[in-house]
Every structure is written in structure tokens, then in C-alpha cells.
Amino acid sequence: MVEMIQCVPNFSEGRRQEVIDALVAACRAPGVALLDHHADRDHNRLVVTFVGDRAAVRDAALRAARAAMELIDVESHQGSHPRMGALDVLPFVPVRGVTMADCVALAEEVGRVLGEMGLPVYLYEEAARTPERRSLADVRRGEYEGLRADVAEGRRLPDFGPPALGRAGATAVGARKPLVAFNVNLGTPDVKVAKAVANRVREARGGLRNVRAIGLALEGRPAVQVSMNLVDTEATPIYRALELVRVEAARYGAPVVGTEVVGLAPQAALVDSAAYYLQLEGFRADEQVLENRVTEALLVEVEGHEPAGADSGPLAPDATPRAGEVAAMGKLPLEQFLEVLASEAPAPGGGSAAAVAGGMAAALVAMVARLSQGKRFAEVAEEMVRVAQEADALRRRLETLAEADTEAFRQVMAAYRLPKETEAEKRTRRQAIARALERAGRIPLETARAALELLPLATAVGERGNGSSASDAAAAAHLLGAAVEGALLNVEINAASLKRMADVDAARSGEELAGAVVELRGRLNAMLPPLVAACEARVRGTG
């Protein structure tokens, strides 16, 4: 689906509101959605979470780093949380449409640029170049003062940047899975208790796997804190970490008086703990959590990102969009959708229509699969149940892509309407146009891929499904061909626009999109004709 990377910069500042505001503002770059920010006075730390595609996230991360280097002096920083730099940690997390390898490549790219800016950079977690730098705790050992002394003596030199730490310190840049920052407050003023409990809980001291923990004092409160990073809540859920903290703290007569999730947490991690403490039997979050079912029913993605892509080439630089020319697809009845599609408005257009065609094909495949179950079709019934489920999932995906395609055209128009009076404005405008055009190519590319994923399912119902529905399977096959080819033509027009731009990265993106078109069109030409022939043969009784 749509490419999305999460970035969670941690800044060594949680007290000066004007600096916090400036750092959060620096993260609000074009093309990213700011999801959350959390400042803690005791930790003296700010955690920001935003998402976007690779280019937008990279730009936002670099903007944030520049702001931190200007606004934070680590030498005068005091707080309970370990730190080694103004921008202390900069992780990239794959969310959708990207791999961990993509995030590693992004971490290396951003790390290199930060090094060129004069900031010492250490790659960690999945991006680490050596095993001893995989753990953030190992990288940050000794904090700013200890690391500065080691580097000055030629030890623990950074992966990028100068071999010396200045007022901005150093930054750990990495790629990792989603983690949960989970704090447990204990009812004792003795920080030694928190440190002892943290030692027994953390993985490095023989505690729970995937748990990083430290013990901290809480200023102005008769309590202390065990602050944890749970780096894999599927393997080590939140409730298990909490219960071990509770057991270990009980040895010192310290009760748990509160817990805290810092920043964002995956829904599944919270649901697992709720199910554990409620002792639920046979609970399924995908079916029994109200919001999940509402989201599915309304085909609305609630992950906080801006959809990306477009179904047409760019407007002329000075074109002025008309009111109402971008329609929300998900809630339009068929008649209204066709009326909007037939109007003079440039969107929705071919890209959205291609996705809708793919969605109709998926619906037909699911229908034939459901008509191919029961005793009459015992040999294929189990296969057809799976086909129907997978076709349903792809239908929802294509419906979402149809709406995202139209929304993305708005982003292309918005980019062309940016001011262009000064050189700086022209540069910003060119970059925004390039990003919008790239997204405009990637949405229909995902549409083509989703439609191609349907071809094996259509083959299953066309060759082994209910023969009385062979015409429906054949219609699905022809619709899939139209969906793939229609989407690829929209990729091509945006790829051509990118390749004509003077920007090297934009031209490279255009070449990448054009190469993907060739690959997917080849797969279509290899897979579709045999499917169409088989379906039409059954319709005519010759197969």
C-alpha cells in the first residue's frame, strides 16, 4: 500500500517551552503528518512522532536536526534520562509499503548528511555496522561526557561526522521495529529501589528479552520510576514487563502507583494487555474492537498520514483549480461518482477509475468463490473460502487507493500553487512539486500491484470455480486487465514529468517508476491472456 515510514526523534529538551515549540515546528515539513509529541520535565526530554514517505521524512528529520543543533547545548543539559546529544536519537520505523532494508538505507543517508553538517553520528539497531553498536545503551554508554572523553582519545569514533563532540553532542541514527516507551512509577522516594528493579527487569542483566530499563528519580514527587523501552511487544508484551516490575518492587515494599505510555503505541500491544488483565477468552481484536470494525466498514484509514498519488499529469504551473474538483470517493454512491467522473473536473480521473475497476474485479472474484462452496464443490471449497477472504481484502485496498489517488491530485495542485517570488520559495516549490509527482506515480503503481495480486485468485475461480459463474470470472479478468493497464499509464505520465525535471533525485525517481511499469506490464502480459482464454472457454462450453 502507500509508502509510510515513522520517525521518532528524541531531543534533549523538555523544560523550555519556546524551544519545545521550535523543535516541534521544525518537524512539520511538507509531506509529513505530525502524530504526537511528549515533553517530560523530569527526563528533560522531548519525543516527537511523525510519518510520511521516504523523501518527506528525510527532509523533516534534517530540519529537526538543524534546529536541535542551534537551540540545545548538551554541555549545560541536566535531566534524569541518559543523553549524548541535542538530537539524541533518530530512529526510522517501517510502517507500510517499505522494508526494514529501506529504513536502514534511509538511516545511512541521513547519517551521512548529518555528519557533513558537523554532527557525529552513530548507526544503531538494524542500521548498526558492528554488533557492539546495535544496542542504543551500548552506543550511549557514559552519556555525553563519557563519549566525548573516549572520542577525544581516539576510541568509539563515530560512523559519520567529525571525531569530536561539540555543544550539540552526538546523535544515534537507526532503523528499528515499533517500540513502546513504558514507564512504571513506584511508591517510594528511594531511587535505589528503581535502579535495582530496572537491573532485574532489563534484558542485559538477565531479565526479560526485548526490554531496556533504567531507574530514575521523579522531581517533586514521593515516587521513583522504572523507565522501559519494550522493543518487541509481540515477544514480550507490556503486561509481562509490568508484572515483573511489580514482583521485583514488592521485595522492597514499593507498590506500583501508576504507569505511563510515552508517545504512540501499537493498538495490538494495548489490546493484548487489556485481554490479559480482563482474562478474556477467545478475544479477537479485529472482530471485537468497535473502532476496527467501523474503520473497515467505512473504508477510512485512520493512521494519521496524508494519502499520496494522483491520476493525472501535473497542471500547468499557473493553473488554478476550480472548487469541487476533488471529490471524496469513499462516501459517493455509484451514480454520483460517475457524474463527478464525467464532469470537467480533472479529478477523479483515470487512476481512480482504474482502482475502482480493480475493486469491481475483486468483488466478482469473491462472489464466484462464495458460489463455489458447499457439498457440490467439496474438492475446492476450502480453497474458495481462502480466495474469497483474500479478494475481500484486496477490494478494500483498491477502494482506499481510489480515494487516495484523487486526494493526491490535490497535493500536486497545491505544490504548483506555492509562492515563487524569491529563490528560496522557488527552491521549496520545486522540491514540493517533485515530491508530489513522485507520490502521484506511486499510488497508481500500488493500484497495479494490487490488481496483479488478484490475477491468481481470478485464475482459481475461473478454472476451478462454479462453471455457472464462468462469465463473472471472465468479466473479472477483463476488468483486471483494464485496472492494471489504466494504472500503469498514470504511473508513466508522472514518471515522464519527473524525468524532465532538473533535480537529480526527481529524475532518478522517474526512472525508478518507469522501470516498475516495464516489470508490471510484463507480468500482466504473461498472466492475463491464459486466464481470459480459460474463462471464455468455460463460458462457451469448450473448456
Nearest to 310 by CA among 342, 358, 354: 354
Nearest to 531 by CA among 514, 543, 516: 543
Name the DSSP class of 469.
G
Instruction: Show the 3-state SS of 482-494.
Output: HHHHHHHHHHHHH
Measured between alpha carbons, how far is residue 17 from residues 4, 23, 78 in Å?
Answer: 30, 10, 16
End-to-end CA distance of the chain: give it in Å, rounded.
36
Cβ 107 vs Cβ 89: under 8 Å: no
CA atoms of 111 and 122, how far apart (whole Å): 8
Measured between alpha carbons, how far is residue 408 from residues 265, 304, 306 in Å?
Answer: 28, 15, 9
**Neighbouring residues of 377: CB distance < 8 A, sequence distance ≥ 6:** 384, 465, 466
73, 81, 138, 150: the catalytic one is 81
Name the DSSP class of 117.
T
What is the b/e burial string over 469-501, where b = at least 16 CB atoms within 10 angstroms of the residue's CB? Answer: bbebbbbbbbbbbbbbbbbbbbbbbbbebbeeb
40, 272, 311, 405: the catalytic one is 405
Amino acid at 215: G
- Give Dmax (Cα) for the chain: 84
Exposed/middle/buried for residue 278 (C-beta within 10 Å: 0-12, 13-18, 19+):
exposed
CA atoms of 26 and 90, how far apart (whole Å): 14
- Sign of the dihedral through C-alpha 142, 146, 147, 151: negative
Per the DSSP assignment, residues forming a β-bridge with 4 are 96
Task: Tell me whether residue 81 is one of the annotated catalytic residues.
Answer: yes
CA atoms of 451 and 501, how far apart (whole Å): 30
The SS3 assignment for 6 reads: strand
Cβ 217 vs Cβ 234: under 8 Å: no
Nearest to 212 by CA among 257, 249, 179: 179
> In the sheet where 211-217 sits, what is the strand order?
211-217, 224-230, 180-186, 256-262
Q: How many H helices and E strands in the chain? A: 16, 11
By DSSP bridging, strand 211-217 and strand 224-230 are antiparallel
Exposed/middle/buried for residue 96 (C-beta within 10 Å: 0-12, 13-18, 19+):
middle
Active site residues: 81, 405
